[in-house]
Amino acid sequence: MSNKELQINEDIRDREVRVVGADGSQLGIMSSAEAREMAYAKDLDLVKIAPQAKPPVCKIIDYGKFRFEQAKREKEARKNQHTVEIKEVRLSLNIDTHDFETKRNHAIRFLKEGNKVKASIRFRGREMGHPDQGYSIMQKFAESLAEYASVEKAAKLEGRNMLMFLACKAASKPVAKPAGKSAGSKKSATPAE
């Protein structure tokens, strides 16, 4: 529930409300004026937290502190959220083994970060006559990443491009980046697996 939807003090016009104390204790059902007076006596605010309940539930709390805590929780939730991106790895028909390993390592890094990988091969000129080579390279790429990823969408020729999508396996969770120095020091203290 956003702060704009919350009613406080004089905005609460209900005849009867169920009142909860600052410590979470039930204070009972009373008139909103009575509940307001009780809140003012403690130098706190009366905040309607459950307007859909019968009677509505109001809590006696410090509204400024409540808003601050709520904003802090939302900010923390946004910080911990990870959006999945699709990272592209471009291969070619005549790719060398070292180049292949480099592309594989890039894909592994992307997958460990929790992103999806789009492997693509662009066919040029006479290469269009050899889609079977493209399929074999894609198959080899998928097999080399079998430990880290599963094929989400198999290799498919679309025009001049062959595309294949790989997703991080459910068992390997994305590695969280340390938020600060304290998180980094904790991470280095634990033994490597």
Assess if CATH 3.10.20.80 describes domain 3-64. Answer: yes
Task: Work out the pLDDT band at 76, boundaries 50, 70, 90.
Answer: confident
Q: pLDDT tens digits for 135-176?
A: 999 999 999 988 888 888 888 888 889 999 998 886 444 444
User: Against a cut of 0.85, is the pTM above it?
Assistant: no
The predicted pLDDT at position 90 comes to: 92
Pick the CATH number of 86-168 from 3.10.580.10, 3.30.110.10, 3.50.50.60, 3.90.1150.10: 3.30.110.10
Residues 6+ apart with CB under 8 A from 30: 16, 17, 19, 38
Domains 3-64 and 86-168 share a fold: no
Residues 14-41, mean pLDDT to the nearest whole number? 85
Give the residue from 71, 69, 109, 73 showing the smallest Cα distance to 89.
109
pLDDT for residue 29 is more than 70: yes
